[in-house]
Chain A
């Protein structure tokens, strides 16, 4: 079901002119798409623009330590890689970029305010959904653009803050991953074979939101009945009680949006309690976020995981060189395989940087914050993960990935097999429509 990239790219048939045109003809855009070898000999069309000499100052807040760092450190690697590529390719309209990284912790609001006080041109992060929700009013008040890396709760821009100017989010929202999980379960088992389902999700806004959306989607598609829904505390030390309940109900499908240490705990205790013998399939939209912490014995069983808007093996790395190059670069630089959270950091920086350069082209000078915010709306750009857009609602839209959890001897890490790629329009509502209403209309 690969739908996201152009046919020419998937077949390796793209030429230099086509690619340059596709990514906007910008050297920076091409570099961030991962195709720098195509840039030799290109003229710089931005040479006459009125752009300051001093570097762009930016700040990223993410989880750099503790259990959430499983995601946060990847986001940091992603942002640093994007900044490195920007600077190696003559910057944004000639401006180099500096990136400061701070620990997100519970200090998201203070971090943002400190970044603004320090004169940052743009800020990135946080990962936390509640943190982002708390920051939005402050972002709008301070009028310094923030591109959130994660924090994917659907209601943020649909209901809580439907009319914002300076606040953006790169990562797909929950409805896309929950519905991709529904589609994946239906594809594996068949709609007629799914009579019951259960959920084990972290007990905060993200986990509750994901379970609600998954329930709506799978009940709409299959008529299945929910037999158990448990919400262990985020960062819990024990999920055995929820696994025991799942085992006793033996549902056809288990849905889990557990991430980080919770995801590995679920798999560890799930295997120890024979959960994968009791159920037909486990679908988890962010299990693969823990790819670098998973061991070979943990990925056995009917376990399917999403990889949000990026999976390094899709499209196949022998057909889509930017993804292959990125895997090599990240493994060489950081010793890990890049996950979707890597792309959260990479994509947030890329969204802003490519929009900034586009604004310079339009204006002939460096844009003001408000002008740049306008350009970011409906902005489309490439990364090694493919094509992404930022919608008019300030929400990022990309292909959603889902595949069977397996093991890669080549990369000595967890991998995904038989990856399905769901186009954004197939797993998210049309602009202006509320997700729950849209699912109800299926």
Chain B
């Protein structure tokens, strides 16, 4: 059972990294970004190119120490890959999203769906139509975990769980403790007032979209350097699951996204061995259950990042 829980925490951590970006963008900008899954896929493809280059600069791991060095280099490469999404996200917001903030939601959905298709074609043009794999997963797993968690367990999963917690911690710190984060939250609550006191909402919104894209890309990088590969269409499944997570957690709530992602991850991993036919259904059943009890989600905060 403990191993299933760890598997669930791993799965939930990946899910949180992707869903957090969507939560941030929805919580501040009010945009339900259908292209979010493709930003995640773009991160996975960038990881293939950038992490592949970085990993090639160091020797393959031969022992625990070299494996840790290798893992750190791969992690740096993943951050660099996700960083590509910062200007991409910023440019998308400034060019396409900004003009339609005041339009009906249907325009936003159509626009972001169009961006989804464009991004897919861009990735096909750059990386080709076939899946690509960084090939560093087994290297990272050279780090022994027997002493860390008491039994043999994939090092990569442990790293992803720790990174997921770190991402959550950073986001909470950023929005709660930094001046920029507080301005972003204030802007989300009252745009007119923020503008009146001299805040550039355009700049804030671009920054938020870029941060959201960054975390989508970082989630993609985590999947790409893990056991999965980067492939066209990979974003759809995670896009749908991200919706489920942010609905469970409450639209716009970072804490909700974190708890929701872990709930989805752990429950699906625990239920699957005993009721395999429910593997797909568990997240949705959980969502229905939460909505029946708390229609606003576990930590619902409309129009505000919390």
Task: Mark A residues whose CB is within 8 Å of B.
Answer: 64-67, 69-70, 73, 203, 228-233, 235, 237-238, 240-242, 244-245, 261, 264-265, 268-269, 271-274, 293, 295, 297-298
Given contacts A240-B7, A241-B4, contact A69 B129 (CB under 8 A): yes
B137: chain A residues within 8 A (beta carbon): 268, 272
Q: How far is the CB of A183 from chain B (nearest CB, A)?
A: 27
B233–A67 CB distance below 8 A: yes
Known: A65-B232, A67-B229. 5 other contacts (CB 8 A): A65-B233, A238-B10, A240-B10, A264-B229, A293-B133
B279–A73 CB distance below 8 A: no
Please pick, from A65, A241, A242, A293, the residue contacting B229 in the complex, using a CB distance under 8 A. Answer: A293
Asked whether B135 is an interface residue with its Cβ less than 8 Å from the other chain, the reply is yes
Asked whether B141 is an interface residue with its Cβ less than 8 Å from the other chain, the reply is yes
24 contacts between A and B (CB under 8 A): A65-B129, A66-B233, A66-B234, A67-B234, A73-B130, A203-B276, A228-B273, A232-B279, A237-B228, A238-B227, A240-B10, A241-B8, A241-B268, A244-B7, A261-B229, A264-B133, A268-B137, A271-B138, A272-B137, A272-B227, A273-B153, A273-B154, A293-B229, A297-B138
Determine the distance from Cα of A173 to Cα of B135 in the docked complex, in whole angstroms.
33
Please pick, from A230, A265, A269, A272, the residue contacting B272 in the complex, using a CB distance under 8 A. Answer: A230
Residue with the greatest number of chain A CB neighbours at <10 A, chosen from B10, B227, B237: B227
Please pick, from B124, B228, B279, the residue contacting A265 in the complex, using a CB distance under 8 A. Answer: B228
B280–A269 CB distance below 8 A: no
Q: How far is the CB of B61 from chain A (nearest CB, A)?
A: 12
B124: chain A residues within 8 A (beta carbon): 65
Task: Mark B residues whose CB is within 8 Å of A.
Answer: 3-4, 7-8, 10-11, 14, 124, 129-131, 133, 135, 137-138, 141, 152-154, 156-157, 223, 227-229, 231-234, 237-238, 268-269, 272-273, 276-277, 279-280
B233–A229 CB distance below 8 A: no
A244–B130 CB distance below 8 A: no
B279–A69 CB distance below 8 A: no
Q: How far is the CB of A338 from chain B (nearest CB, A)?
A: 15
The 3 A-B residue pairs with the shortest CB-CB distance, nearest first, are: A65-B129, A268-B227, A272-B154
Instruction: Name the residue of chain A whose CB is nearest to the CB of B152.
Output: A274
Determine the distance from Cα of A131 to Cα of B114 in the docked complex, in whole angstroms.
27
Determine the distance from Cα of A203 to Cα of B277 in the docked complex, in whole angstroms.
8
B133: chain A residues within 8 A (beta carbon): 264, 293
A265–B232 CB distance below 8 A: no
Determine the distance from Cα of A261 to Cα of B237 in the docked complex, in whole angstroms.
15
Instruction: Name the residue of chain A whose CB is nearest to the CB of B124.
Output: A65
B272: chain A residues within 8 A (beta carbon): 230, 241-242
B141: chain A residues within 8 A (beta carbon): 271-272
Determine the distance from Cα of A273 to Cα of B229 in the docked complex, in whole angstroms.
18
Given contacts A240-B7, A241-B7, A265-B227, contact A272 B232 (CB under 8 A): no
A230: chain B residues within 8 A (beta carbon): 272-273, 276
B131–A69 CB distance below 8 A: yes
Determine the distance from Cα of A73 to Cα of B229 in the docked complex, in whole angstroms.
17
Determine the distance from Cα of A84 to Cα of B227 in the docked complex, in whole angstroms.
37
A65: chain B residues within 8 A (beta carbon): 124, 129-130, 232-233
Given contacts A238-B11, A241-B4, A272-B227, contact A69 B130 (CB under 8 A): yes
Q: How far is the CB of A370 from chain B (nearest CB, A)?
A: 37
A244–B3 CB distance below 8 A: yes
Q: How far is the CB of A212 from chain B (nearest CB, A)?
A: 14
B227–A66 CB distance below 8 A: no
Please pick, from B228, B231, B273, the residue contacting A66 in the complex, using a CB distance under 8 A. Answer: B231
Instruction: Name the residue of chain A whose CB is nearest to the CB of B231.
Output: A67
B157: chain A residues within 8 A (beta carbon): 240, 272
Instruction: Name the residue of chain A whose CB is nearest to the CB of B223.
Output: A237
Determine the distance from Cα of A235 to Cα of B280 in the docked complex, in whole angstroms.
12
A237–B238 CB distance below 8 A: yes
B135–A295 CB distance below 8 A: yes
Determine the distance from Cα of A265 to Cα of B233 in the docked complex, in whole angstroms.
17
A241–B129 CB distance below 8 A: no
Q: How far is the CB of A249 from chain B (nearest CB, A)?
A: 10
B138–A240 CB distance below 8 A: no
Determine the distance from Cα of A274 to Cα of B157 in the docked complex, in whole angstroms.
14
A264: chain B residues within 8 A (beta carbon): 133, 227, 229
Please pick, from B135, B228, B269, the residue contacting A241 in the complex, using a CB distance under 8 A. Answer: B269
B277: chain A residues within 8 A (beta carbon): 231
Instruction: Name the residue of chain B whose CB is nearest to the CB of A235.
Output: B237
Q: How far is the CB of A302 from chain B (nearest CB, A)?
A: 18
Q: How far is the CB of A261 from chain B (nearest CB, A)?
A: 6
Determine the distance from Cα of A233 to Cα of B279 in the docked complex, in whole angstroms.
8
A269: chain B residues within 8 A (beta carbon): 154, 227
B228–A261 CB distance below 8 A: yes
Q: How far is the CB of B30 from chain A (nearest CB, A)?
A: 29
Instruction: Name the residue of chain A whose CB is nearest to the CB of B153.
Output: A273
Determine the distance from Cα of A297 to Cα of B142 in the docked complex, in whole angstroms.
12
B130–A70 CB distance below 8 A: yes
Please pick, from B10, B11, B129, B273, the residue contacting A242 in the complex, using a CB distance under 8 A. Answer: B273
B154: chain A residues within 8 A (beta carbon): 240, 269, 272-273
Determine the distance from Cα of A65 to Cα of B231 in the docked complex, in whole angstroms.
8
Instruction: Name the residue of chain B whose CB is nearest to the CB of A65.
Output: B129
Please pick, from B138, B238, B269, the residue contacting A272 in the complex, using a CB distance under 8 A. Answer: B138
